[in-house]
């Protein structure tokens, strides 16, 4: 038996960081909900901020001091103001605001509270009596839009400039494009192309409002429908599918539909989070794989080989794989071509 005074050979710091992470994420979420960073674009005392938020001044000061230790606020005398990080990403109305991304990411912790139950029975929340379908609402859509704008969009289009099918495309379909961030970027990067955004009716209504912020409603055709059941059109030169195929059932039929919608020499582009062949890396994808399984047992995070096999089975060839991983986004880019018949 070791002595009570004996120090461990390794540090518990990595595990401690995991323990503290839950607290920190919820403090950040509360700061977003209370609009702390939006209010502190101009410096204020804890008392002044408490009056605005209708909170207790003493507890508010302790709360703000935590945000200082996190590097999100700076304190001078008795006044607090945003750091550059907070001012850039956490102030409402700023072009790189990610408050909704914080909401949907931290909010997903609620699903993990059901982990014990799901581990025991192997089911999912959607199978429980009285459970509600996963709500892809406005906060969800805006959160995903913020993630796309901050993390993936620049590198995606830096990659697409080398994809000849995109460069030459006259008609582009953004399938399941939700917020329309990629549709707008397609229209800007390839102004000669006709761009169509296809998604569920309630999603299209939200996309209309988001696209209108950028004054681009006249540049994008919005089509409402369910791509699992409805016709998606035809005559496309490029079909872009981003973060849509995370389920075990139905992908084959949708890929067949995409193949049929493309002109000869057209291409499909998949942009998705993937796991490695042992399904143990990268960490974000592995966590995501568990998270979506709690929500629905049919949900699944694929490997690159699984995606390429699905594309080949649908008839696509000349597959190209681009590693566009930019932390915290572990995305991979897979392009498949519909070759002209000989």
Q: Structural domains in the chain?
A: 13-90 (1.10.10.10), 119-337 (3.40.50.150)
Whether the pLDDT of residue 131 is over 60: the answer is no
Which residues are CB-neighbours of 119 under 8 A, at least 6 positions away? none
Which residues are CB-neighbours of 51 under 8 A, at least 6 positions away? 57
pLDDT tens-digit map of 253-284:
999 999 999 999 999 999 999 999 999 999 88
CA–CA gap between residue 54 and residue 34 (Å, rounded): 10
Which residues are CB-neighbours of 74 under 8 A, at least 6 positions away? 68, 80, 81, 82, 83
The pLDDT, as a whole number, for residue 240 is 97
Whether the pLDDT of residue 89 is over 90: the answer is yes
Nearest to 40 by CA among 2, 7, 4, 85: 85
Structure tokens of 6? 């004996």
- Asked if residues 326 and 151 have their Cβ atoms less than 8 Å apart, the reply is yes
- In angstroms, what CA-CA distances link 81 with 33, 84, 86, 95, 286? 17, 10, 9, 19, 37
pLDDT band at 20 (very low <50, low <70, confident <90, very high): confident
Phi/psi-derived region of residue 233, left when phi > 0, alpha when psi is between -120 and 50, beta in every other case: left
Largest CA distance in the chain: 78
Q: What is the mean pLDDT of the segment spanning 236-262?
A: 95
Structure tokens of 43? 């410096």
- In angstroms, what CA-CA distances link 152 with 14, 100, 206, 330? 28, 16, 21, 10
DSSP-assigned states of every residue in 295-334? H-TTB-PPPHHHHHHHHHHTT-EEEEEEE--BTTB-EEEE
Angle at 329 between CA 244 and CA 338, to 5 degrees: 45
pLDDT band at 161 (very low <50, low <70, confident <90, very high): confident
Whether the pLDDT of residue 243 is over 90: the answer is yes
Nearest to 289 by CA among 300, 279, 278: 300
The pLDDT, as a whole number, for residue 319 is 96
DSSP 247: B
């Amino acid at each position: 038996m070791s002595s009570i005074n004996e120090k461990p050979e390794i540090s518990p710091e990595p595990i401690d960081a995991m323990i503290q992470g839950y607290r920190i994420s919820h403090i950040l979420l509360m700061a977003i909900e209370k609009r702390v960073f939006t209010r502190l674009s101009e410096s204020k005392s804890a008392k002044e901020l408490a009056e605005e938020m209708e909170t207790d001044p003493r507890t508010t000061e302790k709360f703000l001091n935590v945000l200082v230790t996190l590097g999100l606020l700076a304190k001078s005398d008795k006044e607090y103001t945003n750091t550059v990080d907070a001012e850039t990403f956490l102030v409402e109305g700023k072009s790189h605001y990610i408050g909704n991304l914080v909401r949907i990411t931290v909010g997903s912790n609620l699903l993990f509270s059901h982990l014990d139950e799901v581990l025991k029975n192997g089911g999912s929340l959607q199978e429980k009596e009285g459970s509600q379908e996963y709500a892809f609402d406005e906060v969800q859509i805006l959160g995903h839009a913020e993630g796309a704008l901050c993390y993936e969009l620049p590198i995606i289009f830096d990659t697409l400039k080398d994809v000849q099918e995109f460069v030459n495309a006259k008609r582009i379909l953004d399938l399941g494009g939700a917020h329309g961030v990629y549709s707008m970027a397609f229209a800007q990067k390839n102004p000669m192309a006709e761009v169509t955004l296809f998604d569920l009716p309630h999603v299209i209504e939200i996309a209309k409002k988001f696209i209108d912020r950028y004054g681009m409603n006249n540049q994008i055709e919005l089509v409402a429908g369910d791509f699992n059941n409805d016709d998606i059109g035809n005559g496309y030169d490029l079909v872009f599918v981003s973060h849509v195929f995370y389920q075990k059932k139905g992908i084959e039929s949708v890929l067949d539909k995409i193949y049929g919608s493309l002109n000869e020499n057209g291409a499909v582009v998949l942009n998705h989070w993937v796991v490695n062949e042992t399904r143990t890396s990268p960490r974000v994808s592995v966590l995501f794989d568990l998270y979506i399984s709690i929500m629905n047992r049919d949900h699944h995070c694929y490997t690159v080989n699984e995606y390429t096999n699905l594309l080949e089975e649908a008839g696509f060839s000349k597959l190209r794989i681009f590693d566009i991983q930019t932390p915290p986004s572990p995305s991979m880019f897979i392009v498949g071509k519909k070759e002209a018949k000989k």
